[in-house]
Every structure is written in C-alpha cells, then in structure tokens.
Amino acid sequence: MDKNLVVGAGFSGAVIANLIAEKLGEKVLVIDKKEHIAGNSYDYTDENGIKIHKYGSHIFHTNSEKVWSYFKKFGDLNTYMHRVIAVIDGIETTIPFNLNTLYDVFPETLAKRLEEKLLKSFEYNKKVPILEFQKQADADLKFLAQYVYEKVFLHYTNKQWGTSPEDVDGAVTARVPVYISCDDRYFQDKYQGIPTCGYTRVVEKMLKHPNIEVKLNTDYKVVKGDFKRIFYTGSIDEFFDYKFGMLPYRSVNFKLELHNHPYYQSNAVVNYPCNYDFTRIHEYKYYLNDISEKTVIAKEYSEAFELGKNERYYPIPKDENIELYNKYLEEAKKLENVYFLGRLGDYKYYNMDQAIGRAIELFEEVCQ
C-alpha cells in the first residue's frame, strides 16, 4: 500500500504530489472536481493569443528562497512587478496609498505639507494599517486618515467583504496599508513574476511524473481504495459533511469582455473603490505582453459564497469563524494519515507562495 491520495490539483495538491512521487518514489492519485488542473490559478490562451487568468489575476511573489527555487524548476518567470491603479475622485493613482499618491490627489502645497508630517511621524518605507493610521492627533494627518479611509478602504471593503473595515480581521486590512514610501509596487517581495508558459503549464509539469495519476471531474466521495496517506486541499467543513456548520467564504464573479482595440485601460489592474458595483478590472495582456489587436478584460464582482452556486475564494477571518474552523481542526487530528492543506483545507488566506511553502513544509513534516 504505497499509493497516496491527493484531493485537489491546485498548487497545494500538485506540489505535495510532486514531492511524494519524486522524493519517495511512491504512487500518487490526484483527483479534482474541476474539469481542469491548477485550481483557481488556471489560465489558458484564447483565440486572440491572450493568456487569460480564468479566476482573476495571479501574480507570483515571494521572499522565500526555497519556494522560489522550487517554483523555477517548472517554468521560467518574467520580471513583471505588479502595480495597482485606483480611480479616486476620477483620478488614476497608485494603490497602496503612498507618498506619490499625495501629489496625484491633492494640490501640491497640501501634498508637500502632508508628506513632511508623514515623514516626521513614521519611518520611511513603513507600512501602516489603515485602522492604526486613523489614530492621529495632528489635524492634517487626521484629515488624511479620514480621506484614505473613505476613498480607499470603506466602500471597497464593503464591496469586497460585504462589511465595514472595522468588522474585518486586521490581517485583511493590513494587506493594503498606507505606505510611507515612493515605491509604487503592490508587492515588495524579492522575487516577482509571471511564468512565461502560464500557471496551468507549471502545474502540469509538477504532475507529469510516472508515479502520478490525475483524474478530473472526480469527487472525493466516489473514490475507493486503501491509501497510505490522504492530502485534502478542499474545504475542511465539506470533508466532515458540515457537522458543525458551514465555514463562511467570499466568492468572486468575473465577467469577461472582448474589446476591438489594443488596450482598454492604462494598467493590468485598476481598482474602483468608490464607483460602480464591481471592485476592479483586470486586463490580462499586460502580464506577458501578449500582442493582439484586441484585448480581454474581466470585471470583478465580489459576492457571498453559496454552496452549489459559486466557488469558495476567500476565507473570512473573524473570531467566530476561526472558532468554528478549530472545531473541524480538532476532528482532523483524530484521523490517521489524513492531512489538510491549502486555502480551503487550512481556512487561511494564502498567497500562491504561501500555499507552496505550506505544502513543502507538510511533506517534510509527515513524509521524511
């Protein structure tokens, strides 16, 4: 009995399957309910020669040498560094809100005064979560904090999470801080890029091993067999048939549009924090500099997850949700040789590099 079962063919499942097959020489059956591999990182080239990220923009970034070295084995990456534009009061400017943003949205004299006060109050290159940033005594900085809160965070958070920033976990609001810097990049990680072959091809290479068998359109509950280990990347509450209740998630609906001109907008991602009912627009051809006379955009609409209607995207890190997850975690500890990982298995808001790092760590923990 040297066969392992991996449920889910996204990055978490593909990485641990690859490591077991390659390093242990054991057989692995990888199954996925979807009709394709790569999970929510799935991409494809459309009839216009544009690489489409089906489930929204995915940018690989990491500070981990281990994760970067592992990822690079399966595909070359370009040197794309992600920048996000937001439309604030009709003006396109940089997000996160930084020192450059001041000069985009305010008159120069006011921007200069605010910059000087920010540099006196905070270290340069410091990232300040918005709810912390609001605790200012100075009148000018109080004004700035309120402006950023309303124009950048309040309405966007309402759309994205269905609640106000105060009701969202600090780990979420900290992802888009006020940045005391002139660095316009969305991420400051040492390594950043998009695989030139696409994410689907990277996952395909991870799974292309004589010891790995992949079955798509396959539900875990119909799989029979005696497995040495089971690695489950699906939702942990679903595994236990929701015995303690359903874990809440946010979902996303992407509406693709084809336009008959080379570009639709000035940047790969443009956020609309205060306007419209979508949160942002993705324009995919920027990522790999695809050449086409046409362009494809996706308008992103956030919505509540409903079983059978849409996909789970973002765990909602509230205290009561973590408490519910911990009940499932205690159940999981009672199982022998069954392991949970990934954004759904761990109920954590993982980036791609974190999901890969977690899979590598779990392999090292239980398989060596």
Answer yes or no: do 113 and 50 share one domain: no
Which segment of 5-9, 159-163, 294-298, 299-303 scores lowest on mean pLDDT?
159-163
Residue 319 near residue 171, CB atoms below 8 Å: no
Chain segment 180-201, per-residue pLDDT in tens: 999 999 999 999 999 999 999 9
pLDDT (0 to 100) of residue 355: 98
pLDDT (0 to 100) of residue 154: 87
- Residues, the chain: 368
Chain segment 150-160, per-residue pLDDT in tens: 999 888 988 99
- pLDDT category, 1, cuts 50, 70, 90? low
Q: What angle do CA 93, 286, 296 make, to 5 degrees?
A: 100
Answer yes or no: do 130 and 91 share one domain: yes
Answer yes or no: do 198 and 159 share one domain: no
| Segment (H or E) for 54 | none
Task: Note every long-range contact of 279-282, with CB atoms under 8 Å and residues 24 or more positions apart, other chains counting.
Answer: 279/156, 279/159, 279/160, 280/84, 282/53, 282/56, 282/57, 282/254
Number of domains in the chain: 2
Residue 100 near residue 84, CB atoms below 8 Å: no
Answer yes or no: do 153 and 238 share one domain: no
Domain membership of residue 113 (yes or no) is: yes
Helix, strand, or coil here: 197?
coil
Cα Dmax for the chain: 73
pTM: 0.95
- pLDDT category, 98, cuts 50, 70, 90? very high
Closest CA to 199 of 5, 14, 6: 14
- pLDDT category, 174, cuts 50, 70, 90? low
Answer yes or no: do 175 and 214 share one domain: no
Put the strands of the sheet holding 3-7 in their side by side order.
212-215, 27-31, 3-7, 229-232, 338-340
Structural domain span for residue 51: 3-78+194-247+315-366
DSSP annotation string for 307-345: TTTS---EE---HHHHHHHHHHHHHHHTSSSEEE-HHHH
Answer yes or no: do 220 and 331 share one domain: yes
- pLDDT category, 173, cuts 50, 70, 90? low
Residue that finishes a domain, picked among 180, 203, 223: 180
Answer yes or no: do 105 and 237 share one domain: no
Residue that finishes a domain, picked among 123, 148, 180: 180
Average pLDDT (296-302) is 98
pLDDT (0 to 100) of residue 167: 74
State the Cα–Cα distance between residues 295 and 284, nearest whole angstrom: 8
Non-local CB neighbours of 251 within 8 Å, separated by 6+ positions: 302, 303, 304, 305, 306, 310, 311, 312, 313
Chain segment 14-27, per-residue pLDDT in tens: 999 999 999 999 99
Domain membership of residue 226 (yes or no) is: yes
| DSSP assigned state of 98 | B
Task: Note every long-range contact of 213-216, with CB atoms under 8 Å and residues 24 or more positions apart, other chains counting.
Answer: 213/27, 213/28, 213/29, 213/30, 214/9, 214/30, 214/31, 214/32, 214/37, 215/29, 215/30, 215/31, 215/32, 216/9, 216/31, 216/32, 216/34, 216/35, 216/36, 216/37
Answer yes or no: do 93 and 152 share one domain: yes
- pLDDT category, 82, cuts 50, 70, 90? very high
Is the pLDDT at 172 greater than 80, yes or no? no
Answer yes or no: do 330 and 207 share one domain: yes
DSSP annotation string for 293-306: SSEEEEEEEEEE--
- Token output for 15: 């990485």
Residue 54 near residue 42, CB atoms below 8 Å: yes
Q: Are strands 191-193 and 60-62 parallel, antiparallel or unpaired?
A: antiparallel
Closest CA to 10 of 362, 352, 354: 352
Residue 4 near residue 31, CB atoms below 8 Å: no
- pLDDT category, 228, cuts 50, 70, 90? very high
Answer yes or no: do 154 and 205 share one domain: no
- Quote the mean pLDDT of the chain: 95
Average pLDDT (227-252) is 97
Domain membership of residue 273 (yes or no) is: no
Q: Alpha-carbon dihedral of residues 110, 112, 115, 119, nearest 10 degrees?
A: -140
Domain membership of residue 299 (yes or no) is: no
- % of the chain surpassing 70 pLDDT: 97
CB burial string 34-50: b at 16+ within 10 A, e below: bebbbbbbbbeeeeeeb
The CATH number that applies at residue 226 is 3.40.50.720
How many Å is the Cα radius of gyration of the chain?
A: 22
State the Cα–Cα distance between residues 320 and 318, nearest whole angstrom: 6
Average pLDDT (266-280) is 96
